[in-house]
Structure 1
């Protein structure tokens, strides 16, 4: 895994983007590939396999707008299903049946596909040139391959219903995990379900409480955690490793989550929060449009306080799932779609999602949520941040982690045993995958 620069790289590097967001966007059509229709030629059809749980309609709209500007190219949009990007890609890689453009995560698995020549070099594209410089190391393999572009600046946060907090007499946001538990108890006493837990969608268990548990219980105490993870010396068969899982279980055991939480999927979790069925939701900035726009109660966000008393929280911030081009016979046309996705067409999905864009220049009039923008500005100044779990965990470990998280919640596996299995998987990966 490529060693990332120190977390302080976020400080200042986001300033130009945040200024642009404050100015509500600008136009830069020079970053978009020009139409390339050839009279009389049969259109080329490219396949795009996309992870878009929050924006399937917008992806179809982007594809349609792209084809209007590139009438010689048609886009067959397909959507990933299941719990992760990697579980969608592995069978297609094995069968040599990859589409032309794919969603991809900036991790060791994607980097290995680039090194094997499965993913095309995108360093010459307008998309790569326009991506924020602080994100580029995430998308560069150890061998120097530029294998994709980010879909956004991703963070996981706690969304909270301000009306419910006021009704429960909560005037101060929790600053550590003990205070968070006290807030949950106060909300429950007031008759509210404190927190939505997406137990049926382990992807969000990983992005939310697992990533913040790892950040605050492990990475905060191990400055060299990335190197230790890579060489197999990061010990997670510990009390701290078990506590990552234990805290998730504790929230359920104390009745701080909704009924039937084990079967609550991603969309249902968002619906429960927006319908006023819970006071808090542990979700990503990428869902801000669904969670914050036009709701009957005012919604705020705060840093998940998974830190111990007296310690500064370690936020989770990094590259959102992005896009790559596969080395197919239609890769030239797929490169044009890549430039459009994070260029002129980006406004179509952004104005629905209201996330933080990953580009230096924003084409068209861009709508963002001011609270999300302020959140990213705040955490970018923190001395340490950790990326989401899909960035630093090997693909095979992600596959093991998902059922482990659900088994801990269901009482089938203890937190300590889950930590032991996670530790075993990471050490095996560091040895080259030999189990």
Structure 2
């Protein structure tokens, strides 16, 4: 694809833990493509969607944009706002199981994954050993017992991101949804879309109850409701908490540069006697908007998913979403082994941002915080989430 000489494109990117790498990717691209200048802007707040909506409302969608593989992203593609990327080599190179995440109802292929996303509990092996923990928990009751053992040994068991509810969404909510909803309803995805999935249930209330129970038992850091994304990572790296419930996207940050060894285990959000359901899917990725600069933006997308990918991968060390890639791609072996193990499960859940409609994602953030502040009960939260998801289905996806 050719772009006109001297094109300036805007890229609006979600990069909470790798802004410098994104700037480097843009600089390297412009060196190789002197006819295209990339103006990188960074998303702020708690979600990709809350950054995109005002741009759409004002007819000001950037040329390249971070996007989630959910009904909202698919809907933008079907409305003709996002370009179809199926002719790119990035799409052809993407792992086949991820492609369905990025295919809309009208079969438009609207984005390229930023990685394979899974969640894990990262743990400080030294603290576990000193607390006398010899076996990792395999269900939620055992997890609470491990937290109790760590607390008795004088450690803060786990970091809770109350000030960045997006991480509580990715962590305990996604795992709760996988174990309490996906495990019981194979057709959950279609039922969310058509508004027939009942989320006003004791099982969904239990998801919120568990998010609240962990701090209620005194297992989290002080002032956890003010803990943001970076603060939470820092608490774990500085040895102030024994565990972090986090994503594969933070593997580079959490596994390295610590004065202690770090291990990972599958979030045991299953009840005793039930098979655990892990969470695995596509990370937030990149889309090209239907703007006059589409050709130039497609070239930039190809670069991000091609030669530029090793720049962000060296920092993040997550799981690449591609069949093959140029240059050296660093992935931590612990995360490779973990993701391979997770991928072998017959039943898996998806990250919450690819489960819920966009307005319900923002609603969920507030519901989690309201439950943690004691403003509403877990049962009320389940009812309100159910109403939000059904309302979205009524408005958009019938």
TM superposition score category, shorter chain reference: over 0.9
Task: Answer yes or no: is the 8 Å Cα contact 1:289–1:353 preserved in 2.
Answer: yes
Please tell me whether residue 226 in structure 1 is matched to residue 172 in structure 2. Answer: no
Once residues 40 and 396 of structure 2 are traced to their aligned partners in structure 1, the CA distance between those partners, rounded to angstroms, is 34
Task: Answer yes or no: is the 8 Å Cα contact 2:3–2:295 preserved in 1.
Answer: no
Cα RMSD over matched residues?
Answer: 1.3
What is the aligned partner in structure 1 of residue 16 from structure 2?
Answer: 53
Query: Where does 1:104-143 land on structure 2 (aligned, <5 Å)?
Result: 104-143=67-106
Q: What is the DSSP-based 3-state SS (H/G/I as helix, E as strand, rest coil) of the residue aligned with 2:341?
A: helix
Please tell me whether residue 174 in structure 1 is matched to residue 137 in structure 2. Answer: yes
Task: Answer yes or no: is the 8 Å Cα contact 2:3–2:293 preserved in 1.
Answer: no
Task: Answer yes or no: is the 8 Å Cα contact 1:102–1:324 preserved in 2.
Answer: yes
**Cα deviation, residue 294, structure 1:** 2.0
**Could you say if the C-alpha distance between residues 192 and 70 of structure 1 is closer, same or farther in structure 2, counting changes exceeding 3 Å?**
same
Normalising by structure 1, we get a TM-score of 0.90
Please tell me whether residue 93 in structure 1 is matched to residue 56 in structure 2. Answer: yes
Once residues 213 and 433 of structure 1 are traced to their aligned partners in structure 2, the CA distance between those partners, rounded to angstroms, is 26
Once residues 327 and 133 of structure 1 are traced to their aligned partners in structure 2, the CA distance between those partners, rounded to angstroms, is 25
Alpha-carbon displacement from aligned partner over 1:106-134 (angstroms, at most 9, x marks no partner) = 11111111111100111111111111111
Alpha-carbon displacement from aligned partner over 1:266-323 (angstroms, at most 9, x marks no partner) = 0000000000000000111000111011211000100000001111110010000000
Stretches of 4+ moved more than 6 A in 1?
none
Q: What is the DSSP-based 3-state SS (H/G/I as helix, E as strand, rest coil) of the residue aligned with 1:160?
A: strand
**Cα deviation, residue 425, structure 1:** 1.0
Alpha-carbon displacement from aligned partner over 1:371-421 (angstroms, at most 9, x marks no partner) = 000001101111111110100100011111111101101111111100010
2:217 equivalent among 236, 254, 274: 254
Alpha-carbon displacement from aligned partner over 1:215-235 (angstroms, at most 9, x marks no partner) = 111111122222322232222
Alpha-carbon displacement from aligned partner over 1:144-180 (angstroms, at most 9, x marks no partner) = 1111110000011100000000000001000000000
What is the aligned partner in structure 1 of residue 161 from structure 2?
Answer: 198
Please tell me whether residue 73 in structure 1 is matched to residue 8 in structure 2. Answer: no
Task: Answer yes or no: is the 8 Å Cα contact 1:37–1:70 preserved in 2.
Answer: no
Alpha-carbon displacement from aligned partner over 1:338-374 (angstroms, at most 9, x marks no partner) = 0000101100000110000111111101111000000
- Say how many residue pairs are matched: 397
Please tell me whether residue 408 in structure 1 is matched to residue 339 in structure 2. Answer: no
**Could you say if the C-alpha distance between residues 382 and 37 of structure 1 is closer, same or farther in structure 2, counting changes exceeding 3 Å?**
closer
Once residues 262 and 378 of structure 2 are traced to their aligned partners in structure 1, the CA distance between those partners, rounded to angstroms, is 32
Once residues 289 and 278 of structure 2 are traced to their aligned partners in structure 1, the CA distance between those partners, rounded to angstroms, is 33
Q: What is the DSSP-based 3-state SS (H/G/I as helix, E as strand, rest coil) of the residue aligned with 2:258?
A: coil
What is the aligned partner in structure 1 of residue 392 from structure 2?
Answer: 429
Task: Answer yes or no: is the 8 Å Cα contact 1:37–1:71 preserved in 2.
Answer: no
What is the aligned partner in structure 2 of residue 319 from structure 1?
Answer: 282
What is the aligned partner in structure 2 of residue 368 from structure 1?
Answer: 331
Once residues 175 and 81 of structure 1 are traced to their aligned partners in structure 2, the CA distance between those partners, rounded to angstroms, is 36
What is the aligned partner in structure 1 of residue 342 from structure 2?
Answer: 379
Query: Where does 1:301-320 land on structure 2 (aligned, <5 Å)?
Result: 301-320=264-283
Task: Answer yes or no: is the 8 Å Cα contact 2:182–2:348 preserved in 1.
Answer: no
Once residues 172 and 236 of structure 1 are traced to their aligned partners in structure 2, the CA distance between those partners, rounded to angstroms, is 34
Q: What is the DSSP-based 3-state SS (H/G/I as helix, E as strand, rest coil) of the residue aligned with 1:245?
A: helix
Task: Answer yes or no: is the 8 Å Cα contact 1:212–1:304 preserved in 2.
Answer: yes
1:299 equivalent among 223, 239, 262: 262
**Cα deviation, residue 37, structure 1:** 9.3
